[in-house]
Each structure stands twice: as C-alpha cells, then as structure tokens.
Amino acid sequence: MNSLDQLRQHTTVVADTGDFDQLAQFRPQDATTNPSLVLKAVQQPRYRALLEQAVAAHPGAGAGTVAEHLLVAFGVEILKVVPGRVSTEIDPRLSHDAAASVATAKRIIELYAAAGVPRARVLIKLASTWAGIQAARELEQQGIHTNLTLLFCLAQAKACADAGVKLISPFVGRIYDWFKKAAGPSWDEAAMAGPNDPGVRSVVEIYNHYKRHGIATEVMAASFRNTGQIIALAGCDLMTISPSLLAELAQAGTPVDRRLAAEGPVRPAPTPMTEAEFSAALAADPMAREKLTEGIAQFVTDTETLEQLIRAQQQA
C-alpha cells in the first residue's frame, strides 16, 4: 500500500480544500474549508460560476449575506463528493462575539437545510477564542456540531473539551513556523523533525490529555507543512490534509505505523477552566497568542477580499 492508504488504517483522512474537483481522487471521509481556501477557489475560472450564481440569486443583498450563501454552495458541492461532513467557517470578524457567532451559525445551518443537507453533515468552524468556545457550547447544546479552529495550545483544547465541542483542529504547521522563525539560524531541521517537531508535540500533548480523561471531543490535526509531520501523528482521530500533501502520500511508499493511541485507565475529568485561567494561559504563551491573533487577522483579510469580489460581480 502507498503511504496514504496506510495512514487510512490508523486515522480518518480529511481533505483541506475548497477545490471539490480534486476530492474524488483522494477519497477523504470529510472535508474542511476556511475563508482563505474559498477565496483561492473562487478565483479559479472553473469555480467562478458559483460566485456568479450566488450574486444573481440574491439581488440587492449585502456582500456578507452573499458570502454566506457562497460558502454554503461550496459546502453543498463538497458533500456530493465526500461521504461524511464538511466544515464551514463563520465570519472571522465575529471571533470575539459569541452571540453574533451563534446567530450566524444558525443561519448557515438553515441554508444547508434548505439545500437538503442535514445538520449532522455540517461542522460550524469557529476560532478558539474564549467567545468562540462559548458560542460552540451553546451551539452544541442545540444540536449544531462545531469545529474549533486556530487552536495552538493545551489551554484552548481544555476549554473546548469543557464546552463539549464535537471536534478541534490543532494547527501543526503554524506552530512549527513560529518556533522555526524564533530559532532563526540556530534551527536544526533534522533534529526538530518527526516526534520532535513542536507542532507534532503539541498535538500529542492534546491527544493524550483527551484520551487520558475520556474526553469525547475529536482531535483533527491540521495545517501541515510536510508529510513527516503527518506520519508522526498517525493514529490521531482525524487529519485534515491539503491536496498537495495527499498527492505526496499517495505516491510514497514510506511505512506508516500508528504513533498515537489511547493508553492506561481513564482518569476523572479535570476541573473546568475559567475565563481568567484561559486568558492567563494565552498571555503566558506568546506562540499561541500571536498565532491566534495572526490567524484571525488573515481570515478577516481574505473574507474582506471575497466580499470585494462579490461587490465587483454585483456591479458587473
């Protein structure tokens, strides 16, 4: 078997793309999107029709409203290819507004329902801010499942577990990027590869904490820079992987053995984290704090660029 098929024996493979034409060849169970991926896709000629259709179907609507319909349109097309779930991200400008996040999530679920997609096949993506996590808590209580993204540290993972979220997406590659940049010329790529990769270590810590305490929240490692990071996390509940890295794995014959597995007796659940403890943990972790802020800012920029494309189409 190639490396991708071996990986499937240990981990549920998810495609990280808005390019649904690429999905069939890799046979992922689920797919994830974000504002950056949808912006990239809609700028390709073969996906331009989705943008044009969303604008034409909602004359006079604001760009934000059309953008929601466009995100759902991508999700609906993706679900024609994958048998499982699609993750759709809400407006990142609401990352610190729990009430608005909940309202937006409900609208997206309603749009999917109108397209004949049951809520069980949709994960609402929210940033792992305190507000985002509390919005997820409310949504989960209402039967709307969530994917907490831009997650960089154990404190965020603990708060997500407390809120009963369905799934978290710890970002391997962006953690790796931060530590590599911080080390500068002293960075030793070979010494920091595989299990020593700081992004890999972070996911292992979170995975072990969840399994040790019997936490049901799924761990979906995300944001990979190379296949070595993926192979080092074989056994993680899920992994969301870009098409380029899926292709590398499909063409490789590198052995893929299970690296992560639940071990030992389940311990009592830890004491729930307070907002003050959450804030203090982020304040003490410059990597997590900076990457969370940076990630939200980039998604906001790409959301605003997408809305500019919508407005240009409305004026065409």
pLDDT of residue 263: 85
Domain boundaries defined on the chain: 3-315
Domain 3-315 in this protein, CATH class? alpha beta
291 is catalytic: no
What pairs with residue 89 in β-bridges? 125
* SS3 of residue 95 by DSSP: coil
- What pLDDT was estimated at residue 87? 98
Q: How far is CA 52 from CA 30, 45, 58, 79, 311, in A?
A: 26, 11, 10, 20, 11
The pLDDT value recorded for residue 119 is 97
Can you give the pLDDT at residue 269? 86
302's CB contacts (< 8 A; 6+ apart) are 35, 36, 39
- Per-block mean pLDDT, blocks of 10 residues, the chain (316 long): 98 95 92 94 94 96 97 97 97 98 98 98 98 98 98 98 98 98 98 97 98 97 98 98 97 97 89 97 98 98 98 95
Pairing of strands 12-16, 167-170: unpaired
pLDDT of residue 22: 87
Contact predicate 126/132, CB 8 Å: yes
**DSSP states of 3-56 as a string?**
HHHHHHTTSEEEEE-S-GGGTGGG--SEEE--HHHHHHHHTSGGGHHHHHHHHH
The active-site residue, picked from 106, 125, 158, 180, is 125
